Structure 1
Amino acid sequence: MNAPHAPDSFPPRGHEAKRASIMDAACSVFCREGFAGANIDLIAAEAGVSRQTVYNHHGDKEKLFVAVVRDLTERCNAGIFTTLASFPDRPAAIEADLVRFAVCMNRNCLCNRDGKALRKLIQAEGERYPELFAVWREQGPGRTWPALAARFARLALAGHLALDDPDIAARHFMALVNAELQTTFMLGGTPTEDEVLQSARNGVRAFLRAYGGREAGAHRSEAAAS
């Protein structure tokens, strides 16, 4: 008969390996059980570490939850800023170029594992425990929205868009290009490639009807005349 594991009998691993295991397990447990339903023993068991190791790394469940939100926020930010590098600052065809950008943003930042996990935690726990998401508010939208707004401001200065407030335009853009994906997100699913593309196309067309500059206006005039 095998003896039960003692708290220090797990296979030896380095500090960073243990930390990664704890964070992955905590993310999974918090997403599955919620903040109230999760506990350190369950997280430790899924991470393959002792209960004391989790406490040594993070102190308590609340601090661990905040650490998970911070870790997800940092990884999501990395994906967003990488994707922002493909923003069409000098569009050859603004509608097609914005559609390509929207598809990349949805696929790389909203539909991936980190985006889905962060969204689930915010939707499930944000209203009950808003204080646990302070790091997300400051480091997530607080950093990424201004970066996206700055790019729309440059498009407006070049005459591709007509807008008064780049911050509002950036929010409208993101709301429109993923609007048709929200039902799938709420049900815990992952949109198909076709759904991501269709949502991006419809969202960009609606965005350009509201904010289109010289190029979009010319296209609308040609369409009306034909």
Structure 2
Amino acid sequence: MPKVIAEVQTPGRRRRSEGKRAAILDAAEALFISEGYERAGVDAIAGRAQVSKRTVYDHFGDKETIFLRVLERVNDALVTTIRAAIDEELLPGRDLQEALTAFGHRIVDRALASSDYFAFRHLDAQQRPALRLPEADRDRPEQMLEKRFAELAAEGAIRAPDPALAVRHFTALTIGLAREAVTAQRAGARPPDTAAIIADGVAAFLRAYRPG
């Protein structure tokens, strides 16, 4: 009988456990951003999440693991945004200049302007070697875009024997310059014309990579 009761209660306990885990990560993210990794203690994380310190340790083990899980969660949210931009903007048969421009705007306007991106940049700046995401996770956005550029090359839309290099050139000319302009604005510079940056960058990329 007790076994049956335990099985019936398992989904409810699982939901409560998942809720506590999410609350801990929410609290940790807020404290790591506001206080920094060194000053954000497990006691403070537990208090903000309204759980016991033992519950925090039961779920994550130590503060380093909490930090990495927070960083992974923020990174996953950014990857989801980038994947959607690739799937919805870089469509087969769409005018390439229009597609690349729309993709650049999606990344700048939604990803770079998002709270997830702000959190990732803030957390990433605090990293020590032990607190870094695996390279496979860090490189996922570039790998997704590289796959799409390889498909564009196979379709004859671009001339890119090295899709990875083409991705680096494209992002440097568009998203990279837009990111620098946005960062400068936060430091007091005038608002950037990201539309012009993206348009100019796409045009420069196509001059180099469009067959002709």
User: TM-score of the superposition, structure 1-length normalised?
Assistant: 0.75
How far apart are 1:125 and its partner, in Å?
A: 2.0
1: distance between equivalents of 2:37 and 2:63?
8
Q: 2:43 aligns with which of 25, 41, 44?
A: 41
1: distance between equivalents of 2:131 and 2:186?
22
Give the SS at the match of 2:173.
helix
2: distance between equivalents of 1:140 and 1:31?
19
C-alpha contact 2:185 2:192 (8 A) present in aligned 1: no
Identity of counterpart residues, as a percentage? 33
C-alpha contact 2:46 2:56 (8 A) present in aligned 1: yes
1: distance between equivalents of 2:167 and 2:160?
10
1: distance between equivalents of 2:156 and 2:106?
24
Equivalent residue for 1:125?
A: 126
Q: 1:53 aligns with which of 52, 55, 61?
A: 55
Equivalent residue for 1:134?
A: 133
What amino acid sits opposite 1:77 in the alignment? V
1:161-205 per-residue CA deviation (whole Å, 9 max, x = no partner) reads 22221001112212222213324337768xxx9844333222212
Give the SS at the match of 1:171.
helix
Alignment of 1:1-226 (within 5 A): 14-122=16-124, 124-126=125-127, 129-135=128-134, 137-141=135-139, 143-178=140-175, 179-185=177-183, 195-214=193-212
C-alpha contact 2:112 2:179 (8 A) present in aligned 1: no
2: distance between equivalents of 1:94 and 1:159?
11
How far apart are 1:148 and its partner, in Å?
A: 0.9
Structure 1 unaligned regions, length at least 5: 1-12, 215-226
2: distance between equivalents of 1:210 and 1:42?
53
Across the two proteins, how many residue pairs are aligned to each other? 194
**RMSD of aligned alpha carbons:** 2.5
Give the SS at the match of 1:85.
helix
1: distance between equivalents of 2:192 and 2:80?
25
2: distance between equivalents of 1:183 and 1:132?
28
Give the SS at the match of 1:65.
helix
How far apart are 1:33 and its partner, in Å?
A: 2.1
Give the SS at the match of 1:74.
helix
1:121-145 per-residue CA deviation (whole Å, 9 max, x = no partner) reads 21x223xx1231133x22231x332
Give the SS at the match of 1:49.
coil
How far apart are 1:103 and its partner, in Å?
A: 1.0
Bigger CA drift: 194-203 or 66-75?
Answer: 194-203
Which 4+ residue blocks in structure 1 deviate beyond 6 angstroms?
none
How far apart are 1:100 and its partner, in Å?
A: 0.6
User: TM-score of the superposition, structure 2-length normalised?
Assistant: 0.79
C-alpha contact 1:76 1:114 (8 A) present in aligned 2: yes
Bigger CA drift: 160-169 or 204-213?
Answer: 204-213
Bigger CA drift: 57-66 or 84-93?
Answer: 84-93
Bigger CA drift: 179-188 or 201-210?
Answer: 179-188
2: distance between equivalents of 1:75 and 1:92?
27
